[in-house]
């Protein structure tokens, strides 16, 4: 506990030396390779990974402290976010020694950014229906298909793509994960402008892209199980309840209304839940149901921050306002719809939870 | 030791409430968490919470949570031993919980606690039918001791007791509802197969998980801050859980015959006892908002 508090203080001291404007949803909207490299120099990317791969061998609880502090500060963490959150753990679990050596140290330095290629134009919630195909070439794979809503693909170096490599007994068989160099011939990345005017995600067109045998992550045909385990990391973190935190702090500077206590209670509860998930990850588990619940509860809490802000301090939202509250209210409002969609819609997540209860 | 305690107590509760309470008293379960030199059974707050949770989940009307959290806390602060065989309740303010079951009373005047043997009790109840009585203390005073901030201490201990009970009752409501969804068929299949019902079940599960997480955190690290969090979050969950469970059940759920009401009437009572969400939100907000950013009041470094 003392060690975690010391780390918290250390991170706050570091953040105080950094020059950035706090943003809501900064893990999605604020992309700064410089900031990521600065974090990398402190050992704060891949901090739970083994030291031989550039990690710091810290605990999942310590990583939780780090992630909480970065998001609470609205720091620009999007560049390394996806590699730190799920590519590293996936490589450590399923990767070959060659793959780990090729990517992990560079990720921890903030020099290698990944995007996650799951959704496709015709595959959203029904992820197992992906149609991007990879056929063996004798010397690797040739990939064709289109990925979409791929966060920061236009700023990343690599893509971890879920593709169909064979047809098995069930639709969950025959899927595989391939690592694609986004500068390879045949790759085309088109940024997609979001309703807030910025481009956070992109479309990735893979037109007969050749990758080597080393591109396969884990086992051919077992991609579904690998992706499902990855989603526990993707859904359970504090980014599912701290995306509107900078707005909450701005609000608390403007009013001492006791109703803020209700939001604080929800937030503290979500933090306790995230701690339980971190402990489960530390034990090597992939707590899929708890992760789904954190995301459902957390994203609904985020929207209540917006509701209460409007109620307590009536403000016209404005992305370009000099006033923090108006600007953060605008950011939280415009990013609101995405929160309950990305990482699996809340309705799909609730279906997963319900089926686990009745099964 | 957690789940062992809960299972041991649950086994004693599998009978009528009067017999169950007699067994709990005889076994020392109503004084868990109170030091042995004060007439208690020893054990820690986690053990006390497990006993209270087992009682709440049983659906029986029992004073156990009040004895384990409120009475034990006041006796501990006052250094007054529990008289042998006594059922001793804290009689501060109106709507005194369980006074009609009590043999002894702890009264609070200014910052002094008195142990008193006799009182005239006018019975009343909450929505769940639990005694919430008016008490006129008649003496004699058997022991007396000064305790700082005793009113706040009672409020906090009581809020933690109710939070523990609420989380356990919500967990039980979830279990009853899940079972019903699997068994009840409409349109030729169990209603659990309908996505609309699944959405409600998952929301109910989410409230249960949140309530339990908030309570576990408060039990591990009991402060006014964590108790406020637990009481607010369980209070929020109580209303949502009761609404969802009744909606999923349909008309059977609102009958006296079906067990759901034993828990939902308790949820509707306990969430407002020892302070509802509004009172504790003010406490929590005041604790946090002095910090800039407020985050530093939530996550101290």
A36: its two tokens: 């990521």
Q: What is the mean pLDDT of residues B140-167?
A: 97
pLDDT at A1: 59
Residue in the block written with tokens 């690998």:
A226
pLDDT at B92: 82
Q: What is the mean pLDDT of residues B255-280?
A: 98
Contacts of B201 in chain A (CB under 8 A): 350, 353-354, 357-358
Sign of the dihedral defined by the CA atoms of residues A80, A82, A87, A88, in that order: positive
Residue B218 has pLDDT above 70, yes or no: yes
- Nearest-CA distance from B269 to chain A in Å? 19
Residue in chain A closest to B292 (alpha carbons) equals: A253
Residue in chain B closest to A276 (alpha carbons) equals: B213
ipTM confidence score? 0.96
Terminal-to-terminal C-alpha distance of chain A: 38
A254: its two tokens: 């403007």
Instruction: Answer yes or no: are the C-beta atoms of A220 and A105 closer than 8 Å.
Output: no
pLDDT at A230: 83
Residue in the block written with tokens 């710091």:
A56
- Nearest-CA distance from B282 to chain A in Å? 4
> Does the beta carbon of A175 lie under 8 angstroms from any beta carbon of chain B?
no
Is the pTM higher than 0.90?
Answer: yes
Confirm whether A97 is a catalytic residue.
no
Residue in the block written with tokens 């009373």:
B105
Instruction: Answer yes or no: are the C-beta atoms of A345 and A299 closer than 8 Å.
Output: no
* Interior angle at CA A161, CA A160 and CA A165, nearest 5: 130
Contacts of B190 in chain A (CB under 8 A): 358
Residue A164 CA to residue A173 CA, distance in Å, equals 9
Q: A265, B284: Cβ pair inside 8 Å?
A: yes
Nearest to A264 among B198, B236, B288 (CB): B288
Q: What is the mean pLDDT of residues B109-134?
A: 96
Residue A144 CA to residue A122 CA, distance in Å, equals 15
DSSP string, A34-100: HHHHHHHHTT-SSTTS-GGGT-----HHHHHHHHHHHHHTT---HHHHHIIIIIHHHHHHH--HHHH
Query: pLDDT by residue (tens digit) across B43-98?
Result: 999 999 999 999 999 999 999 999 999 999 999 999 999 999 899 999 988 899 99
Terminal-to-terminal C-alpha distance of chain B: 31
Residue B238 has pLDDT above 60, yes or no: yes
Of the candidates A62, A203, A234, A290, the residue annotated as catalytic is: A234
pLDDT at A206: 98
Residue B18 has pLDDT above 90, yes or no: yes
Contacts of A268 in chain B (CB under 8 A): 214, 217, 226, 229, 233, 298
pLDDT at B1: 40
pLDDT at A2: 85
Nearest to A351 among B198, B278, B294 (CB): B198
Nearest to B301 among A8, A249, A262 (CB): A8
Q: Helices A260-282 and A60-72 meet at what angle, rounded to 10?
A: 150
Residue in the block written with tokens 């892209």:
A209
Q: What is the mean pLDDT of residues B15-32?
A: 95
> Does the beta carbon of A348 lie under 8 angstroms from any beta carbon of chain B?
no
pLDDT at A43: 97
Contacts of A260 in chain B (CB under 8 A): 281, 285, 288-289, 294
- Each residue's pLDDT tens digit in chain A (359 positions)? 589 999 999 999 999 999 999 999 999 999 999 999 999 999 999 999 999 999 999 999 999 999 999 999 999 999 999 999 999 999 999 999 999 999 999 999 999 999 999 999 999 999 999 999 999 999 999 999 999 999 999 999 999 999 999 988 899 999 999 999 999 999 999 999 999 999 999 999 999 999 999 999 999 999 999 998 888 788 889 999 999 999 999 999 999 999 999 999 999 999 999 999 999 989 988 888 999 999 999 999 999 999 999 999 999 999 999 999 999 999 999 999 999 999 889 999 999 999 999 97
Instruction: Answer yes or no: are the C-beta atoms of A133 and A164 closer than 8 Å.
Output: yes
Instruction: Answer yes or no: are the C-beta atoms of B114 and B106 closer than 8 Å.
Output: yes
- B33 pLDDT band, cuts 50/70/90, is very high
């Amino acid at each position: 506990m003392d060690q975690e508090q010391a780390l918290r203080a250390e991170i706050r001291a570091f953040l105080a030396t950094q020059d950035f404007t706090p943003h809501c949803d900064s893990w999605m909207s604020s992309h700064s390779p410089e900031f990521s490299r600065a974090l990398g120099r402190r050992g704060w990317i891949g901090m739970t990974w083994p030291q031989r791969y550039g990690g710091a061998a810290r605990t999942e609880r310590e990583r939780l402290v780090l992630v909480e502090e970065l998001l609470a500060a609205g720091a620009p963490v999007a560049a390394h976010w996806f590699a730190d959150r799920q590519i590293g753990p996936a490589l450590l679990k399923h990767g070959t020694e060659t793959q780990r050596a090729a990517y992990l140290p560079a990720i921890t330095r903030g020099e290698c950014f990944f995007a996650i290629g799951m959704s496709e134009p015709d595959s959203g919630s029904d992820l197992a229906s992906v149609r991007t195909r990879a056929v063996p070439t004798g010397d690797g794979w040739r990939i064709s298909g289109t990925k979409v809503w791929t966060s920061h693909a236009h700023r990343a170096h690599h893509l971890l793509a879920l593709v169909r490599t064979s047809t098995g007994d069930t639709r969950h068989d025959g899927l595989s994960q391939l690592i694609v160099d986004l500068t390879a011939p045949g790759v085309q990345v088109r940024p997609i402008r979001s309703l807030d005017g910025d481009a956070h995600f992109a479309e990735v067109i893979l037109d007969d892209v050749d990758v080597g045998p080393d591109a396969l992550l884990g086992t051919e045909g077992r991609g579904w199980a690998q992706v499902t385990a990855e989603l526990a990391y993707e859904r359970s973190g504090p980014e599912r309840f701290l995306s509107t935190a900078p707005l909450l702090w701005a609000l608390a500077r403007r009013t001492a209304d006791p109703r803020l206590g209700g939001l604080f209670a929800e937030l503290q509860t979500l933090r306790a839940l995230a701690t339980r998930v971190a402990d489960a990850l530390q034990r090597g588990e992939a707590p899929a149901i708890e992760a789904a619940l954190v995301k459902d509860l957390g994203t609904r809490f985020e929207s209540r921050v917006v509701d209460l802000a409007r109620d307590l301090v009536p403000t016209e939202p404005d992305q370009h306002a000099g006033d923090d509250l108006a600007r953060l209210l605008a950011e939280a409002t415009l990013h609101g719809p995405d929160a309950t969609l990305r990482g699996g819609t809340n309705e799909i997540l609730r279906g997963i939870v319900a089926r686990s209860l009745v099964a | 030791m957690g789940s062992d305690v809960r299972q041991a107590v649950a086994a004693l509760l599998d009978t009528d409430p009067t017999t169950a309470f007699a067994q709990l008293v005889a076994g020392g379960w109503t004084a868990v968490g109170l030091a042995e030199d004060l007439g208690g059974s020893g054990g820690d707050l986690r053990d006390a919470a497990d006993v209270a949770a087992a009682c709440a989940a049983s659906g029986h009307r029992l004073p156990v949570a009040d004895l384990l959290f409120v009475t034990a806390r006041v006796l501990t602060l006052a250094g007054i031993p529990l008289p042998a065989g006594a059922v001793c309740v804290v009689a501060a303010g109106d709507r005194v919980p369980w006074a009609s079951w009590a043999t002894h009373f702890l009264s609070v005047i200014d910052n002094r606690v008195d142990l008193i043997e006799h009182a005239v009790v006018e019975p009343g109840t909450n929505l769940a039918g639990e005694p919430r009585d008016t008490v006129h203390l008649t003496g004699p005073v058997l022991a007396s001791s000064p305790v700082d901030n005793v009113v706040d201490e009672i409020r906090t201990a009581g809020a933690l007791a109710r939070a523990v009970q609420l989380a356990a009752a919500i967990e039980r409501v979830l279990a009853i509802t899940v079972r019903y969804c699997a068994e009840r068929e409409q349109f030729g299949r169990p209603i659990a197969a309908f996505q609309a019902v699944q959405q409600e079940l998952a929301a109910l599960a989410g409230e249960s998980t949140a309530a339990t997480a908030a309570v576990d955190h408060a039990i591990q690290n009991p402060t006014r801050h964590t108790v406020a969090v637990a009481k607010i979050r369980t209070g929020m969950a109580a209303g949502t859980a009761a609404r969802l469970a009744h909606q999923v059940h349909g008309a059977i759920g609102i009958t006296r015959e079906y067990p759901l009401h034993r828990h939902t009437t308790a949820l509707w009572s306990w969430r407002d006892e020892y302070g509802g969400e509004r009172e504790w939100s003010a406490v929590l907000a005041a604790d946090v908002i002095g910090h800039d950013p407020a985050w530093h009041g939530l996550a101290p470094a």
